[in-house]
Amino acid sequence: MILLTQADASLAFGGEPALVVALAGQPNVGKSSVFNDLTGQTQYVSNWPGKTNQSKAGMCDHRGTLVQVIDLPGAYSLTANSSEERVVRDFLIHDQPDVVALIVNATALERNLYLLAELLALPVKIVLGLNMLDAAAQQGITIEAHVLEAALGLPVVSLNAARSEGVHELLDAAIRLVEHPGSYTPNRPEIRADHRSVLADLERLIAPYVPAPYPADWMALKLLEGDHQITELLQPHLGEAWESVHAILMQHEDAILAIAGGRYEWIGRMMRAAVTQPRAGQLTLTDRIDRVATHPWWGMLILLGILGVLFWLTYALGTPLQTWLDVNLVQAGSLWAQAQMQAAPPWLTGLVVNGMIAGVGTVLTLLPVLLIFFTALGILEDLGYMARAAYVMDRFMHLMGLHGKSFLPLFLGFGCNVPAVMGTRSIESPKARLITIMVTPLVPCTARLAVLATLAPIFFGTQALLVTWGLLALNLVVLTGVGVVLHEGFLGGEHKAFIMELPLYQLPNLRMIGVSLWQRLVDFIKMAGTIILVVSVLLWALSTFPGGTIETSLMGLIGQKMEPLGRVMGLDWQMLVALLTSFVRKENTIPTLAVLYGVGTQGAGLAEVLSSRLTQPAALAFLAVQMLFIPCMATLATIRQETRSWRWTALSMGMLLVISLGMGILIYQGAAVVGWK
Amino acid sequence: MLFKHHHHNHHRQADVENAIDEQELPLSQLRAGVAARVVQVAGGNGLVNRIACLGFTPGAEVTLLQNFGHGPLIVCVRGSRLALGRGEAEQILVTTIEA
């Protein structure tokens, strides 16, 4: 199922892993800390063919034994309720890892052990990693690991993943299980007495037909739970037997309540001797913070305050640093390269200076802003605040066909679309994440807004502010429309129930935030050195050859060829070329226009030419297209990187082209109909 | 035992004399700070399945942490905090527990 794993592992370590350990766990258990502790810098992402999910894998040299560690998506149970849960169970059944290391959060042990109850119905060996014991102790919860181990009949290892404690002991336990399979005698939950005979009947009926490698007893259990995916999978195999199976299932439609209830009764028995709970009714720190943070009005104010501080930091710190990098990295680098290349042919100098340094350098100047945004996102997420922000915003985001967790990444998009697309990593549901990525370019970034702020006064004078707000509103309306259409078309209009865990607040783990920040920045720099480099050189060539100037270049010629398209929007070819060059960076629009109209960017030159060349409807059409047009190449490359799909990247580009040009035509032609000149 | 949807009526009639204060109501009508016990979960199979896995099974103790009478609510169940849409909370029938 997993691509790359064995080949990459062998390449990196020169050997096959002796053991495959899959990390499983519910969300918010610190599983990625465990994964990072074990695999360090040897991680790589594996694709699951035919699915939007990705899973991380990595290698661990554990006391001389090479162990492959697979990080499975967070799942509350093993039902067909979410794609993460389906990925986990498909992996366990089809790939059969040697050991499953189940990481549980000691502060929510009862609910966490539900996944254990489900895992025990599958033919896998399990070790339990008991994480966040210190946070549990703060809540007054004490857990005796060895008592829990005795009750469960499987290895229980205490962890402090935030401080890398216990993770190698977890692998020790996994290796012992593989070396001494006879020692594994777990206490398995049994179905309640009143459903025992029904389950036995089902298993007997389906056993001859169950396709490999599915275990018949597990299939019978899932059928009884009403699992639609398993039912659909099994029905064609059952033939005549389906009638009898169906009749039984119809009689026990809500068996899931008895099955889940039975699992929780079993969990209660397992925990009884090992866990001491605090007195009920104590008000915890989390409760006290949540009185404000999740309040309908106070919560909104806090969220706005946090965003205000974040954007203030960006403008006070990020923007000056960006300018500094632009002067000292890009411009100084260009001058230096020009000095070094005096003997080189002009085209080569152009390639290096205007192609490579200008393109890659400009993208690298985004680093300070990315650093600020990702640090803030990491802290908010680790603190447990992201779930609250999502909770406060969920109602509004639902109207746009989006999830509450889409709000923060999208809002970051006003600063820069690149961290917005990368920030969607915190959205667990792959579909919700993909929809968020697809609508992100419709959030106008600072650069787009700067172009709008420069051009709107030229065309509309005193009404510029009105036009600016109108176009901003237009973007949000289009974003909502696209969100709803994608949600209806893509999720089949399925109404997703609103159920979300609100984890305990905890002090952020700066090491983990650093690791994830580092990974994001490395990904970004890699992207700048590869895809951005190629695209920059290509775009430079397009805007230089064959004639040497932009008018006589291929891009200029394309613009002139597209003049008929421009005419339906009231635009001349120069305006179209300006749109094309904005693909490198949005700010390019204005210098391109200045060059093409043969005027300077400063003073009245450009303003005069533009207002004489374009009627007001045409100008409005141009600004609308500019606001809705395909994003810059850095954003598009990030979309490709995060979706790992050229198809979705092309779809995003195509969709935005159609929407933006369509809107431009609509505005210009609409103005002609109502007689606005 | 299995709690079927029509069972709670029998259950209610049988208990009505000796448990006047034991009133059944949807979770969405519970006030903040009140503890209750789940009696029944209704709704489509997908929803019941999700809710049950998270711990809302008949007999489970829940404490309502936040309910403003509109919008989603926050519930403590099986030792963890869950935000729940009002529509979902209407499908969970509970009886209050005397403190």
Model confidence at A282, in pLDDT bands (50, 70, 90)? low
Please tell me which of the candidates A257, A287, A498 has its beta carbon nearest to residue B52: A257
pLDDT band for position A474 (cuts 50, 70, 90): very high
pLDDT grade, residue B21 (50/70/90)? low
Determine if the pTM surpasses 0.80: yes
Cite the residue boundaries of each domain of chain A with CATH code 1.10.287.1770: 193-276
**Alpha-carbon span A3 to A68, nearest angstrom:** 14
Confidence at A415, pLDDT banded by 50, 70, 90: confident
DSSP one-letter code for A553: B
Q: Which chain A residue shows the shortest CA-CA distance from B81? A: A502
pLDDT of residue A600: 61
Neighbours of A275 (CB within 10 A): 19
User: Closest approach of chain B CAs to the CA of A651, in angstroms?
Assistant: 32
Q: How confident is the model at residue A356 (pLDDT cuts 50, 70, 90)?
A: confident
Strand partners, A23: A71, A101
Model confidence at A257, pLDDT cuts 50, 70, 90, reads very high
Verify whether the Cβ–Cβ distance B41 to A111 is below 8 Å.
no
For residue B50, list chain A residues with Cβ-Cβ distance below 8 A.
Answer: 79, 81, 497, 499
Residue B66: pLDDT band by 50, 70, 90 thresholds?
Answer: very high
Write down the pLDDT at residue A495. 57
- Which of the pair, A103 or A486, is modelled with greater confidence? A103
| Contacts of range A330-335, beta carbons closer than 8 Å, 24 or more positions apart | A330/A357, A330/A358, A330/A361, A330/A362, A330/A364, A330/A365, A333/A357, A333/A361, A334/A358, A334/A361
pLDDT reading at B1 higher than 50: no
Considering the domain A5-183 in this protein, what is its CATH number? Answer: 3.40.50.300
Which spans in A43-190 are helix H?
83-95, 109-119, 133-138, 145-152, 167-179
Are the C-beta atoms of A394 and A403 separated by less than 8 Å? yes
Residue A52 pLDDT: 39
Residue A102, SS3?
strand
CB atoms under 10 Å from CB of A444, counted, come to 25
What Cα–Cα distance (Å) separates residue A578 from each residue in A590, A622, B17?
A: 7, 10, 81
**Of A252, A258, A499, which is closest to B54 when you measure between CB atoms?**
A499
> Which residues, numbered 55 to 84 in chain B, qualify as contacts with chain A under a Cβ-Cβ cut-off of 8 Å?
55, 57-60, 63, 65-66, 68, 71-72, 74, 77-84
Average of pLDDT values for A302-319? 88
In terms of residues, how long is chain A? Answer: 677
What is the per-residue pLDDT across A114-133, written as a single tens digit (0 to 9) for each?
999 999 999 999 999 999 99
pLDDT band at A100 (very low <50, low <70, confident <90, very high): very high
**Does residue A345 surpass a pLDDT of 50?**
yes
Residue of B47, B55, B99 with shortest CB distance to A264: B55
Contact state of B85 with A498 under an 8 Å Cβ cutoff: yes
What is the mean predicted confidence (pLDDT) over A231-247?
94
Beta bridge partners of A45: A56
Cβ pairs A/B, distance under 8 A: 129
Domain positions in chain B are 7-96
Q: Does B3 sit within 8 Å of A108, measured CB to CB?
A: no
What's phi and psi for A103, nearest 5 deg? -95, 130
Closest-approach residue (CA) in chain A for B55: A111
Q: Is A631 in a helix, a strand, or coil?
A: coil
pLDDT-derived band of residue A2, with 50, 70 and 90 as boundaries?
Answer: very low
Grade residue B22 by pLDDT with cuts at 50, 70 and 90. low
Cβ distance A253 to B45 less than 8 Å, yes or no, reads yes
- B34 in contact with chain A, both atoms CB, cutoff 8 A: no
In this prediction, residues A537-555 reach a mean pLDDT of 84
Residue carrying structure tokens 């109404």: A495
Distance CA A326, CA B91 (A): 58
A438: nearest Cα among A493, A399, A404, A400: A400
pLDDT reported for residue A491: 62
CATH class of B7-96: mainly beta
Residue A269 has pLDDT above 70, yes or no: yes
Contact B55 A111 (CB under 8 A): yes
pLDDT at A601: 54
pLDDT tens-digit map of A613-655 = 899 999 999 999 999 999 999 999 999 988 888 999 999 999 9
Q: Beginning with the edge strand found earlier in the chain, give each strand of the sheet holding A156-158 in spatial order.
A: A44-47, A54-62, A65-71, A19-25, A99-105, A126-131, A156-158
- For residue A596, what pLDDT is reported? 82
List Cβ neighbours of A540 (8 Å cut-off, separation of 6 or more): A350, A351, A354, A355, A356, A358, A359
Coil, strand or helix at A104: strand
Helices A385-399 + A298-313 axis angle, to 10: 100
> Confidence class of residue A42 from pLDDT cuts 50, 70 and 90?
low
Residue A9: is its pLDDT beyond 80?
no
How distant, in Å, are the alpha carbons of A214, A215, A239 from that of A208?
Answer: 12, 11, 11
User: Which chain A residues are within 8 Å of B49, Cβ to Cβ?
Assistant: 79, 81, 225-227, 256
Span A567-601, pLDDT tens digits: 999 999 889 988 988 888 888 888 888 888 877 65
Within 8 A of A252 by CB-CB distance, chain B residues are: 2
β strands within A479-536, DSSP E: 499-501
> Residue A145: is its pLDDT beyond 80?
yes
CA distance linking residue A209 with residue A493, whole number of Å: 34
Residue A366 pLDDT: 84
Instruction: Provide the token pair at A619.
Output: 């100008």
The percentage of chain A sitting over the pLDDT mark of 90, rounded to a whole number, equals 49
Give residue B99's pLDDT: 58
Do B60 and A502 make contact, defined as CB atoms within 8 angstroms?
A: no
Tokens of A370: 């990315």
Average pLDDT value for residue range A212-217: 94
Structure tokens at A281: 């009714």
Scanning chain B, the segments in alpha helix (DSSP H) are: 7-15, 45-53, 86-90
Tell me what percent of the residues of chain A surpass a pLDDT of 70: 94
Q: Which residues contact A84 (CB under 8 A, 6 or more apart)?
A: A53, A73, A74, A75, A428, A429, A430
Mean residue pLDDT across chain A: 88
Q: Say whether pLDDT at A1 is over 80.
A: no
Which class is domain A193-276? mainly alpha
Residue A504, H or E segment: none
**Residue in the structure block whose two tokens are 């172009």:** A451
- 3-state helix vs strand vs coil in chain A, percent to 5: 65, 10, 25
Instruction: Say how far apart CA A25 and CA A132 lie, in whole Å.
Output: 13
* CB–CB contact B3 A394 (8 Å): no
Dihedral angle over CA of A552, A555, A557, A558, nearest 10: 180
Tell me which chain B residues have a C-beta less than 8 angstroms from the C-beta of A195. 2
pLDDT of residue A261: 95
Pick from A500-509, A604-613, B75-84: least confident: A604-613
For CATH 3.40.50.300, the residue range(s) in chain A are 5-183
Closest residue of chain A to B45, computed from CA coordinates: A226
At A54 the pLDDT is 58
For B74, the closest chain A residue by CA position comes to: A502
- Return the pLDDT at A357: 87
Two structure tokens written together for A47:
């694709």
CA distance A619 to A489: 34
Q: Which amino acid belongs to residue A585? A: R
Q: In angstroms, rounded to a whole number, what is the distance separating the alpha carbons of residues A102 and B60? A: 24
Strand ranges (DSSP E) for A519-580? Answer: none
The answer, yes or no, to whether residue A14 has pLDDT greater than 70, is no
**CB-CB contact of A354 with A331 (8 Å):** no
Mean pLDDT, range A547-559, rounded to an integer = 84
Whether the complex's predicted ipTM is more than 0.90 is answered with no
**Residue A81: which of B4, B5, B50 has the nearest Cβ?**
B50
Which residues are A57's β-sheet partners?
A44, A70
* B-chain residue closest to A263, CA distance: B53
DSSP string, A305-343: HHHHHHHHHIIIIIHHHHHHHIIIIIIHHHHHHHHHTTT
Mutation choice for A interface testing from B65, B68, B80 by most A CBs within 10 A: B80
Name, in order, each residue with C-beta under 8 angstroms of A189's C-beta and a sequence gap of 6 or more.
Answer: A117, A120, A121, A262, A263, A266, A267
Copy the structure tokens of residue A349: 């100098």
